[in-house]
Every structure is written in C-alpha cells, then in structure tokens.
Amino acid sequence: MDHGDHSISKATLDPAADAAAMLLRLGFAIFALVIPSAILLSRWVIVVLVPIGAVLIILSTILRGDPFQVVKSLVASLFTIPGMTGLFLAIWAILSLAWAPNPSVAALKLSKTIGVIMLGLLAVQALPRRMRASNLHLITIGVGLGAVLILTTVGLEALGSASLRFPSVTPGRATILLTCLSWAAAAWMLIKNRRIIAAGLIALVFCVALFGQTGEAVVPVGVGLLVFALAWAVPERAGRLLAGIVATLVIFAPMLAWLSKMVARGFSLGQDSAVTALGLWWDVAMTAPLRLMTGRGLDGASSAREAGTIPVNAPSTLISDIWVDLGLLGALGFGILAFHVFRAAGRFGLEVAPLALAGLASAFTFALIDRGATQTWWMNGMTVFAIVLLSVERGRYRTVRPRASMKSRATDNEPNVAAA
C-alpha cells in the first residue's frame, strides 16, 4: 500500500492534504496550462514562472509528508550514474571559471543554470508517484490553446489585421516548447484511449511549425515524427539505439566537423553551405588543440564570437558551445547524461515511450542545430518538458496497464498493476 500519495488521490478531510493537493494542482497548472500560452507574451515570462511552479510543487510534498523527503530523494538520486555524471559536470563547470575569459559573467550564467536545474530536480522528486487525471488534462488544454493562439495570429496577419501580435522572438520559442510538450500531451490522450485527439494535437503543432512566423521547429517536428514512427512497436530497442546515436553525436562532434571539412573541400562546396560552416568549427578547434581537451572556460564560446575568434558563420549550438566551453570532459559528461535519458525514456512502456522518445528527439535536434538552446529560456523550457513528461508517465496507473515491449517486462509488471 502506498502511504506517500494516497492523501492526494482521494477525497479527504485532512486540511494539510487538501492544501497539498491544491498547491500541486496550481504548480502543475503553471507548467502545463499557463506557460505554453504565456510564453507568447514576453521572452522572460518562462524564466519567472518556472521557479514559481517548481516551488509550489515542492511545497505540496512538504505538506503531505516528511519535509525532508524531497532532499533525501534528491541525494539518493545522486548515487546513480546519471546523478554522479551531472554532479561532475557541475563541478567541472565551476572549475572552468578559473580559465574563463570573463569569469564574472560566466559565474552569473552558471548560477542561473544550476539554480534552474536544482529547482527542476527538486520538483521532479516532489511529484507524487501517482498523478491525478484531472491534473494531467491540463497539458492537453495548454498545448491546444498555445497552438491555436499562434495559428490565429498567423491567420490575422495574412488578412492584414494586427489585432493580435506578440513580440518577435516569442512565437518561435513557444513553437519549440509546444513541439516538445505536444508529445507528452498526445501520450496522455493515448493512455486515455483518445487517439483522435492525440493525432489532432500532433497535427495542430505540426501546422504551427509549418505555417508559423518562424521555421525553427520544422526540422525538430520532422525528426520527432520519424522517431515516433520508428519507436511505435519497439520503444525499448529504439530508446537504446537513439541513446547510442545521441551520445555518439555529442562525443564525436569534432570528428564530424573534420569530416565536413574534408567533404566541403572534396566537393568544392560554397562558403554558404551548412557542411562548410560545420567544417569551420574544426579550424577553430585546431587553433588551440589543448583547449579541445579542457575547453576555453564557461561562456568561452560567447566571448570568442564577440571577439571575432570564431567566424560568424561557424556553428553556434548547445553541442558546439559545450565543446568550446568545457572541452572533452564536458562533452563526455553531457553525452553520458543524454544516453541515460533516452534509454530511460524507452522503458516507459508502449503507451508513453514512443512519444517520449519523439519529444526528446525533437528537443535534441533543436539543441543540435539552433543557437536558441544555449539561452536561459531553453533550460527553463526543458525543465517544463521534464516535469510534464514524468507526470504523464505517472498518471497511467488509473487507466490502463502499461504494456511492456517484451514478455519479460509484462511478467514483471503484473504484481505492480495488481497492487495499483
């Protein structure tokens, strides 16, 4: 019997449990319902709302049980391979401040990043093991509302009306976030056996990416659809395959840049081609081979671009910046984390795993090709995505038994289903 979460899964006369349920609902509503639309209003709104939502979720678990349970769970998670890898990355980033070109600016960015990650991890640990369906329906509404607002703006602009207009950068950011969140919302609809609504959500967000004011999400959406199709029948195997591909792309990125340089030279490609631009990264790396191992220090890539050391048309993405800032050790740590995230998502079961992998693939594709993934809003957006996705995964206990992709997993899951 689960004593930790029963207080919010059924009606109760306990005021503390009622308050905990309300705080959890408010916190989750910020992530699932408010942010997908509110991000259109201002570029900073997600930076403000994410900490508020995380704190409300953390307070809810404090009210319904041991106030130190969240911290205990977080400490326990550190004694895992992903936990130790994340801790190493944080320590290495702090050490890199010693040789960073602008330590004060880098330290400020690092403190913000670590703060968001810590709040996100605490909120994840504070999530109940069983999420109520009434809470999870909010993500479907939030994604649908955000997509409709963007498409309405596009339609009004096509008609020559400016009655609904958002700041120039926000529609692109909202579309990217909706691209990731739509897979989580569709997973919840599949759990509820509402496949038409699930397909409608994906189609709606695809239209936003295709006809929206920016094209930032077109490639991530396409990759997500491809991964979903490949992972539909064999999500666990697909998760292992994607984990290997993602880790390889991160860890061997300089070799890919070298190959791009050879290809561009062999085929005499122009300076404007993406292959030639990727090859420029190898030239930058070879100007200081030692820095390829240690990195230039946190925020080194941004400083180098401002100083003109890195060419303007050279890649500027999360992966390239990790290599420039933190070097081989940083890339190894990030690659290991990405490997474990994809592999774990592949084990979510046939109702959730294919869509979880599609959402993660969309997010990673954006990090691989767009500079926006190096900015503060992206880290906050990934916090939203992680909390919503894990909440959906914990909400299926009330509806259908998670079907396993292997017979052995089906056998292992039967006692837990019976207990639920």
pLDDT for 156 equals 87
pLDDT for 397 equals 65
Residues 413, 404 contacting (CB under 8 angstroms)? yes
pLDDT for 413 equals 43
Report how far residue 253's alpha carbon sits from residue 262's, in angstroms, rounded to the nearest whole number.
14
Residues 342, 213 contacting (CB under 8 angstroms)? no
Beta strands in 325-417 (DSSP E): none
Give pLDDT < 50 ranges for the chain. 1-11, 398-420
pLDDT for 118 equals 94
Tell me the three state secondary structure of residue 142: helix
Joined together, the tokens standing for residue 411 give 């056998």
DSSP conformation class of 312 = T
pTM for the whole structure: 0.89
